[in-house]
Amino acid sequence: MIRQKSFENDMPTLYLVATPIGNMDEMTPRAVEVLKQVDVIACEDTRTSGQLLKHFDIHARLISYQNFNEDPSARGIIHLLSQGQNVALISDAGYPLISDPGQRVVMEASSRGYNVVPISGSSAVLNAVVASGLTAQPFIFVGFLPSSANDCRKKLIEYRSYPMTLVFYEAPHRITRMLECVQEVLGDRRCCIARELTKIHEEFLRGTVSELRKEAEGLKGEIVVVVEGNRDDYEKDVDYGEILHMVNEYIEQGISRSDAVKEIARKTGISKNKIYEIVHEKIS
C-alpha cells in the first residue's frame, strides 16, 4: 500500500493540470501558479501549449509527451522526478489522461512514491453531461469508439444493457456513422450532441438519435455525445448469441471458461450466473 499526503512530504510532484477546452478564462489561478512554479511542463503539442504558456506569461521548460512516444517519455519524466524536479503534465485541452496520454507516467510515478496531484479545471465530459438534459448520475465515460463500423458495433454491444447514461467523444468526420451504429445497437434513445464547448460557436443538439442523425452531417469542432441509458429491464434486450460468441472468443484465446465469464460480466454488466446459464444451455 502507498499512502500519499500530497502536501505533507518533500517528495517531487507530478501535477496533472487541466487546461481550457476553449475559453482561456477557464484557466484557474491555481493552475497558472503551478505551471509557473514547476521545473518542467510535459505536453502533447509544444506549439499549442506554447501559445497557452505565452498567454499566461509562463516560462517553464516545455517537453513533448504523446501517445506514440509515451513509454520513453514516461521514463524521462520519472528520471526528472528522481532528480528532485517537479513536473506538470498538460493536454492540448481539458484534463490529462481523459482520452489523452498520461496513464503510463501516472502509474509509474505513483508506484514509486512520488506525489501525483490533480489541479482542477474544465472538463468536456462533465460540461456535456450536466447540460445534456439527460440523467447526470450515474454515467459511464466510454471515450472514442473504434473507427471501424464493425468494431464500433461490438463495443456498443458491451454497453447496450447498462442503465447508466453513456458519454462518448467523437470526431466531426465520423459523427454520422457513429450515430448510425448507436441507433442500430442501442436503439432510438434520447441523446445530446455537445460541440465546441465554451467557445463562441458552442452548441447543444438534443433529441432522439434518429433526429440528431439528420442534423449531424457537416458538424464541426470537438464533439461530445451523451446517450440515455437502457430504460427497460436491465437484461431485457441482451443478445445472448453475441454473449456466447464473446465467451467462445475468449476461450479460443486460451482463457478459461470461468475467467471468460467473469470478464464478460464485468464488461457488459450482465450477471455471471446469467452468462453461465447461456453457456450451459448451448452445451446441453
Do residues 201 and 136 share a domain? Answer: yes
Compute mean pLDDT per 10 residues along the chain, 284 residues long, and list them: 92 96 94 97 92 95 83 91 97 90 92 95 94 94 94 92 94 95 94 96 96 92 95 63 85 88 79 79 56
Do residues 149 and 179 share a domain? Answer: yes
Give whole-number Cα distances, 103 to 3, 27, 83, in Å.
19, 23, 21
CA angle 56/12/24 to nearest 5° reads: 20
Single residue among 122, 150, 167 that ends a domain in this structure: 122
Do residues 55 and 149 share a domain? Answer: no
Backbone φ and ψ of 161, nearest 5°: -85, -10
| Structural domains of the chain, count | 3
Do residues 219 and 257 share a domain? Answer: no
What pLDDT score was predicted for residue 284? Answer: 47
Range(s) of the domain holding residue 276: 240-283
Do residues 44 and 93 share a domain? Answer: yes
Single residue among 122, 153, 184 that ends a domain in this structure: 122
Single residue among 95, 122, 149 that ends a domain in this structure: 122
Do residues 31 and 54 share a domain? Answer: yes
Per the structure block, which three cell numbers stand in for 206? 438534443
What pLDDT score was predicted for residue 235? Answer: 54
What CATH number is associated with residue 208? 3.30.950.10
